[in-house]
Structure 1
């Protein structure tokens, strides 16, 4: 892969209206997901995503998609409108991603807590990452299956003594 500053590269694509609509959704989804990355050092990657998204959406606006494309007053970049995103496949993907991450993280943390209680924190911390995953995985799967079947219906919080 060559550095984009050293080579001019032009590509012409022929896309149907449906394919162009899908491209709009794809770049918007990628930009939305990239913007969730708050890790230090990710700014350059985020900027390149935003730049390409802006370029494609600016073209889309000029090609008859002005009803779903607007300019963000804060960044002066093009974006899909909130109304479009709310009812689009983009939002469905983001909602599903957040949902999956929530349940995966919850099941992992509960499984990890269960292992720490059973083995003790020092013994748990002495395990390699591979060993930790080996003992956590069956418990995590059990929690995952329970949440898949019952959601949060069987989750009960018990406050420590004196805290509620």
Structure 2
């Protein structure tokens, strides 16, 4: 199969592949990475010069492959940071609300009661974190026995 891309489409696809590979492998050890995404990114990077984006990639002779260079990754960084920030707050709200609903005993009633309690707690945590960030969050340290 052949896919024809304009210069602009190629750049958007390269951006999406860079961001996708970063999301898939950014938290993994090198030996645990999902190579299918790494391979796809390298394949697209190999065509960067032909589309006029050679300045976004570097060639690794040892790996015999093209990769996004540091400058290009820094260009993508604000998108990754925005995503990470949004996920952090969503996960914090979700996990705190689930913990609160379970501690209140709603996990042992009906699914509907649990979902209602969790949703109410989520709204409260969203409001709290929107107004105060982490200012009021405390971690209880275990007492030494």
TM-score > 0.5 by shorter chain: yes
Spell out, residue by residue over 1:90-111, the C-alpha distance to the aligned partner (whole angstroms, 9 max, x if none).
Answer: 3222212211221122112222
Question: Counterparts of 1:70 and 1:130 in 2: how far apart (Å)?
Answer: 53
Q: Is the 8 A contact 1:28 1:79 kept in 2?
A: no
Q: TM-score, normalised by structure 1?
A: 0.69
User: Which residue of the partner structure matches residue 103 of structure 1?
Assistant: 89
Moved more, 144-153 or 59-68: 59-68
Structure 1: gaps (5+ residues): 1-8
Aligned to 1:4: none
The Cα RMSD (Å) is 3.0
The corresponding residue for 2:79 is: 93
Identify the range of structure 1 (58-67 vs 93-102) with the bigger mean alpha-carbon deviation.
58-67
Instruction: Provide the TM-score with structure 2 as the length reference.
Output: 0.76
Could you tell me which runs of 5 or more consecutive residues in structure 2 were left unpaired when the two chains were aligned. none
Q: Which residue of 1 aligns with 2:133?
A: 151
**Pairwise CA distance, 1:77:** 3.4
Q: Kindly report which structure 2 residues correspond to 1:1-164, keeping only aligned pairs within 5 A, or say none.
A: 9-13=1-5, 15-16=6-7, 18-36=8-26, 46-72=34-60, 75-86=63-74, 88=75, 90-119=76-105, 124=107, 126-127=108-109, 131-162=113-144
Paired residues in the alignment total: 142
Structure 1: which 4+ aligned runs deviate by more than 6 Å? none
1:131 to partner: Cα distance: 4.8
CA gap of 1:140–1:29, structure 2 versus 1, over 3 A, is same
